């Protein structure tokens, strides 16, 4: 089996928090809000690395409203 075919090893909330440079509480909030996909195993949330990468690739902050820039009357 090639490295690319190996299944991803899920991350704990603490590991995800370290990768995102946020607190574990913030990771839990991202999970609860649905912005970070995770699966619950017993009492622990587990996050797939690919789902974490999606969060890392997002731009921080609120999205710009395109119409507001053109409404400078």
Residue 67's pLDDT is what? 59
Residue 2's pLDDT is what? 53
Residue 25 within any structural domain of the chain: yes
Do 20 and 55 touch, CB atoms closer than 8 A?
yes
Sequence-ordered strand ranges (E) for the chain: 11-12, 39-41, 44-47
Residues in the chain: 73
Residue 1's pLDDT is what? 44
Cα 24 from chain centroid (whole Å): 12
The residues near 9 (Cβ < 8 Å, ≥ 6 apart) are 49
Q: What is the pLDDT along the chain (73 residues), one digit of tens a residue?
A: 455 666 789 999 999 999 999 999 999 999 999 999 999 999 999 999 999 998 888 767 776 676 555 555 5
- The parent domain of residue 37 ranges over 8-56
Residue 68 within any structural domain of the chain: no
Residue 63 within any structural domain of the chain: no
């Amino acid at each position: 089996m090639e490295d690319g075919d190996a299944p991803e090893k899920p991350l704990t909330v603490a590991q995800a928090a370290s990768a995102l440079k946020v607190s574990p509480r913030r990771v839990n909030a991202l999970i609860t809000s649905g912005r970070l996909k995770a699966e619950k195993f017993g009492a622990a949330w587990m996050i797939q690395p690919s789902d974490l990468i999606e969060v890392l690739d997002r731009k921080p902050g609120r999205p710009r409203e395109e119409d507001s820039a053109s409404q400078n009357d």
